[in-house]
Amino acid sequence: MSMKKTGKNKKVVKMNSSFTSQNFIHAKSLLVIFVLALVAFILLIVRLGFIQFVDGDYLKEKAYSQQTINQIISPKRGNIYASTGEVLASSVPVDTITINPFKFQEDSDEETKALKEKVAKGLSDVFELKYEEVLEKVNSSSQVETIVRKVDQDKVENLKNWMKENDISVGINIDEDTKRYYRYNNVLSGVLGFCGTENNGLVGIESTYNSTLQGTPGKIISSKGSDQSEIPNAEETYIPAENGSDITLTIDYNIQSTVEKFLAAKCSTLNPKNGGTAIVMDPKTGKILAMASYPDYNLNSPSTPNESLAATYEILSPEEQNNALHSMWKNKCVADLYEPGSVFKLITASVALEEGITTPDVKGDFYCKGYEIVADRKIYCWTDKHTGSLTLRQALQNSCNPSLMQLGKRIGVSTLYKYYRAYGLFDKTGSNLYGESNSIFTKESSVGDVELATMSFGQRLNITPLQMITAVSAIANDGVLMKPTIVEKITNTDTGAVTTVEPTAVRQVLSKSTADTMKELMQSVVEHGSGSRAAVSGYTVGGKTGTSEPVEGHEADGYVASFCGISPVEDTQVVVLVCFYGVKKGEQGGVVAAPVVSQMLTEILPYLNVPANATETDNSTNLITLPDIRNKTFAEAEKVLQASGFTVKCITGQDKNSVTVSDQVPKPGVSLAKNSIVMLYDDTNQARTSVTVPDLTYKSASQAISILHDLNLNASIDGTGVVVSQDPPANSKVEEGTVVNIALKKSSNVTQ
């Protein structure tokens, strides 16, 4: 290397060769580093901002969860009661068994393996589980594995004894839990439904009112350290659980038991292909007093096929088994649709009466020749035994299809659909029952002559049994449609507050007079027609039979036989609908369903303290001879007559203790029934009231007496059955107190 001195500064040495030093950073490199550092700093700021403002809440919550222990306090699920006080569903204490697999450790691998096998064997033996499945859980890497849920106390005691004998104190957890218990097993199964393993309602009332019954869980919040163990003496936050509310249903347990008893008995002998249903309703309130589907199932083991399903269950595929169980759980009264058949004729007849299209006893109003030609086809009557001229009363008594087709044609589609809508037949009832379906009707604009004809007598339309009985209950309730209800009240178990479900009137469908006429026609069906097998000794019963045939091409489905009854007719307390699905041809509703309604009413009416009507039997006995009380003071005469069992009407404007009776109606010596009305008059010649004698034809004895008493008239009854003649005749003018002699005769019986 050579060097030379410069002229300006002799001391400066200029190098002629390149020089490299590790102690200096090139300016460009420095700039790159600076830029990279700046970018990194910006990215860091962005990341910090993202963490702070975007992930902040999540990270805060995660940190909180890592630093706290949340112990859940399970609420107690509310009970379900019948209106009569019986506990239908309750929660009983049980235990859930879990394990912590990581806690089964010994000094060596062999000893650990032996311990785990021992634990698996013990658990599988105590709880009757498969050893291989339990061993797999014991060998799991999970923190917690569930061995079995909802264990009864006897098995828990067996586990505790096994743990004590084998000196195992860790790794097996016994946690308190509850299990839903149904005291009466199969009773009301279709309505109540059941809960799953987590105590959530899956079907029925348990599902519909799950949030009400379930309540809100509480919790205890405490702190834990970095080792995930609870910090002693740390402050705790206690949030109490809100227990579920109790629900009281409108179901009367005694009526429910009666209904299920007779429904099951008939199904076991009749063997309908698709079982049967029965509903009992209070028409005045809409309360459902009983609701049953057959076959039913055991609520405490809902996944076990009932007797009907068990015969074929094992040969079904897993998917078919699942579908079959869901079908078994259904409440057929609200979930399944059916063709109501001739019971629906009550709707058609009520529309005609309300619209003034006809009256019950117009001679020659209809004509049946065994069939009706509609459009391009013949639609036949169910029988040819009542051909000829018929009144509306006779058409209903004989369940004549051609007569109702003729009536439907006179009413017209638009008017019929207006009343179908008023009866609520196009909508779900709003009962809050699980799985309720809606009806299927032909669209109004698409209804032709054939559709109009078949609808008029209740075929080729589909409704639920609940929709049908709700409509008939409107007739029984003076024409007022009530919303059907299944829940009577809800009780908050923490505060004791009670929420009562009040009856809801939907609308007035018919006038009271039309409803009264329809009830009387229904009574004539029982006393003089196809519903004779529904009669109950001592009580008035009205109703209508129904037998609907299967749709063409689906003959294998069989017929639907039904009967809807009301009782008592005068002041209806209950409406009963019984249906059997898939019966054979010839098993009409009047033959197979009406007797079941009679059996049910025979027990239900006395249970409800509905007084039996003694006047339905021979009235020639227990009569009282009317004494002569003329010339006695009104006070004395009234006392004598009331002691004898008469009802007294005093017509005088003077003091009863001083004025004497100058005349009485009826006259002395007449034999009268207890509570007959006696009119007493003084000698002031006060104007006497005259009344028009009503037409009592086809009325029952109790109906005739009730009608006459409302007019201050008396009845003398001869025979049993329905009124066939009367004296004085209808429309005669008589004075109050007059005795109307009535002859009754039992009706001939027909079937349908």
281 in Cβ contact with 472 (< 8 Å) = no
- For the chain, percent helix, then strand, then coil, each to nearest 5? 35, 25, 40
Q: Report the distance separating Cα 528 and Cα 637, nearest Å.
A: 43
Residue of 183, 130, 127 lying closest to 150 (CA atoms): 127
E strand spans, 584-658: 624-625, 647-651
CA atoms within 13 A on the CB side of 512: 2
- Can you tell me the distance from the alpha carbon of 697 to that of 95, in angstroms, rounded to the nearest whole number? 70
The C-alpha atoms of residue 327 and residue 136 are separated, in whole angstroms, by 35
Q: Tell me, what's the pLDDT at 747? A: 54
Q: Do residues 295 and 329 lie in contact, with contact meaning Cβ atoms separated by under 8 Å?
A: no
- pLDDT given for residue 699 in this prediction: 78
How many whole angstroms separate alpha carbon 708 and alpha carbon 741? Answer: 11
pLDDT attached to residue 169: 84
Q: What is the pLDDT of residue 618?
A: 44
Backbone angles phi, psi at 719, to 5 degrees: 95, -175
Residue ranges in the chain modelled with pLDDT below 50:
1-8, 19, 69, 227-231, 614-620, 748-752
Structure tokens at 73: 């306090």
The Cα 452–Cα 448 span in angstroms is 6
- Distance (Å, rounded) from C-alpha 666 to C-alpha 662? 13
Q: Are 631 and 660 in contact (CB under 8 A)?
A: yes
- Beta bridge partner(s), residue 157: none
Q: Which residues contact 344 (CB under 8 A, 6 or more apart)?
A: 455, 457, 458, 461, 468, 546
Q: CA neighbours within 13 Å on the CB side: how many for 465?
A: 31
User: What crossing angle do the helices spanning 594-607 and 253-270 adopt, rounded to 10°?
Assistant: 160
DSSP 26: -
Cα 676 to Cα 511: distance, rounded to the nearest angstrom: 30
**Domains located in the chain, CATH noted:** 72-247 (3.90.1310.10), 334-612 (3.40.710.10), 616-745 (3.30.10.20)
pTM: 0.73
Tokens of 618: 């021979």
The count of other CB atoms within 10 Å of the CB of residue 308 is: 15
Tokens describing residue 482? 């009530």
Closest listed residue to residue 430, CA positions, set 368, 482, 374 = 482
Q: How far apart are CA 274 and CA 554, in angstroms?
A: 14
CA 84, 88, 91: angle at the middle one, nearest 5? 135
Between strands 145-151 and 87-99, the pairing is antiparallel
Cα 54 from chain centre = 51
Q: Looking at residue 56, what is its pLDDT?
A: 66
Given a contact cutoff of 8 angstroms between Cβ atoms, the answer to whether 77 and 85 are in contact is no
User: How many other C-beta atoms lie within 10 A of the C-beta of residue 421?
Assistant: 14
CA 621 from chain center: how many Å? 46
Rounded (10°) CA dihedral 426, 429, 434, 439: -20
User: 334: buried, middle or exposed (CB in 10 Å: 19+, 13-18, 0-12)?
Assistant: buried
Taking alpha carbons only, the member of 651, 665, 660 closest to residue 735 is 665
Residue 675: what pLDDT? Answer: 83
Beta strands in 396-519 (DSSP E): 480-482, 487-491, 498-500, 505-508
| pLDDT value at residue 3 | 47
For residue 582, is it left (φ>0), alpha (ψ between -120 and 50) or beta? Answer: left
Determine the Cα–Cα distance for residues 568 and 570; give it in Å rounded to an integer: 6
Which amino acid is present at 67? Q
